Amino acid sequence: MTPNADPTRTEHRLITVQQHILQEQKRFPGASGEFSWLLSGITLAAKMIQAKVRRAGLSDILGTDGETNVQGEIQQKLDVSANEVLAHCLSVRESIGVLASEENEQPIMVHNNSPAAKYAVVFDPLDGSSNIDVNVSVGTTFSILRRPDEAHLDDHESWLLQPGRKQIAAGYVVYGSSTILVYSVGNGVHGFTLDPAVGAFVLSHPNMRMPDQGKYYSVNEAYCDEFPPRYGEYIDRLRHGTLGHKYGSRYIGSMVADFHRTLLKGGVFLYPPTTDQPDGKLRLLYEAEPRCVSRRTSRWNRARWNASSAGCRANQHSPTNAAGRGESSRTRRF
């Protein structure tokens, strides 16, 4: 900064995620601050998880713990550890009544029957964790729902199984070349990079906007022969340039990292149904719906909306439990 620079000018101001959350809170007159306190539990957990991820090769935390989770997948030690961190950081927030994790069979009821408990938090503690042993980006995803007015305090299903459009906030963290936390409370999508020197998430990507024209499609092409034909045809059109220009391909295999690249660079990400996963692989509650908040708020254009986000659009308008689906439901389109 030059000697005459005004430190209060926006370009010189360092905005941490906590400051940003408090600024957002001002948009709601009468807000008590409990929601900001809840979000700060997520940012604290993200810092703790990233510290474990960064030291993964140095401590005895790589590899599986020999257990299978409720989704039928082999749990990594870091899945378990990240799950514990989030449960710990969030269960001490009085405003939270229910925690639902992709790693737990049952939602956890916290502050049982406390009328002060108004929110449910849904999370995947470590998405893409099968990549952890090979130093590939992984992430955490979360979404926040408000207890419906009519819901009983102990009826976790009615807290959790709400239409996707009822999410009041959602976001994700990517533990990559740097750690970035992206969140939205419906007023833009904002990204904060962790500054390891000061231990704070600092605003680095305000008002993220997905470019109108992307370069890449992102899909596990090894399953192409198993996709319903319309998906194969769509991918062919991307490849051959019939949708604007010829798309290249990028696939990491960590949804949160693939999604983040797609949000920044444009393009499409999809995980269609396969023979083994006729309902798709990605979890509606833990993985797809939280991403819909970011996608919707960062204004994907109509072509992409129709082509790859039909599942998201449906989720915004139909209750998750309308067809008898539950916490483990998957989605065929994303």
Q: How far is the CB of 120 from ligand AHM (least distance, A)?
A: 20
For 75, the token pair is: 């749990």
Q: How far is the CB of 323 from Mg ion (least distance, A)?
A: 24
Q: Which is nearer to ligand AHM, 160 or 255 (CB)?
A: 255
Decide if residue 254 touches ligand AHM (CB under 6 A): yes
Chain residue whose CB lies nearest ligand AHM? 255
What does the alpha-carbon distance between residue 116 and residue 94 come to, in Å, rounded to a whole number? 7
Decide if residue 248 touches ligand AHM (CB under 6 A): no
H or E element: which one contains 119? strand 119-127
What is the DSSP secondary-structure string of 201-269?
Answer: EEEEETT----SS-SEEE--GGGGGGS-HHHHHHHHHHHHTTTSS--EE---S-HHHHHHHHHHH-EEE
Handedness of CA 50, 56, 60, 61 (dihedral sign): positive
Residue 220, binding choice from ligand AHM, Mg ion, none, Cβ under 5 to 8 Å by partner class: ligand AHM
User: In this chain, which stretch among 173-181, 191-199, 249-257, 311-319 interacts with ligand AHM, using CB under 6 A?
Assistant: 249-257
Decide if residue 124 touches Mg ion (CB under 5 A): yes
How many CB atoms are located within 10 Å of the residue 48 CB? Answer: 17
Q: How far is the CB of 155 from ligand AHM (least distance, A)?
A: 27
Residue 299 in contact with residue 309, Cβ under 8 Å? no
Residue 253, binding choice from Mg ion, ligand AHM, none, Cβ under 5 to 8 Å by partner class: ligand AHM
What does the alpha-carbon distance between residue 322 and residue 293 come to, in Å, rounded to a whole number? 20
Pairing of strands 267-269, 119-127: unpaired
Decide if residue 103 touches ligand AHM (CB under 6 A): no
Residue 255, binding choice from ligand AHM, Mg ion, none, Cβ under 5 to 8 Å by partner class: ligand AHM
Decide if residue 124 touches ligand AHM (CB under 6 A): yes
Decide if residue 327 touches Mg ion (CB under 5 A): no
For 82, the token pair is: 């990240």
Decide if residue 241 touches ligand AHM (CB under 6 A): no
What does the alpha-carbon distance between residue 124 and residue 140 come to, in Å, rounded to a whole number? 6
Decide if residue 327 touches ligand AHM (CB under 6 A): no
Q: How far is the CB of 32 from ligand AHM (least distance, A)?
A: 34
What does the alpha-carbon distance between residue 21 and residue 120 come to, in Å, rounded to a whole number? 18
User: In this chain, which stretch among 58-66, 105-113, 120-128, 151-159 interacts with ligand AHM, using CB under 6 A?
Assistant: 120-128
Interface with Mg ion (CB under 5 A): 124, 127
Interface with ligand AHM (CB under 6 A): 73, 124, 127-130, 220, 253-255, 271, 281
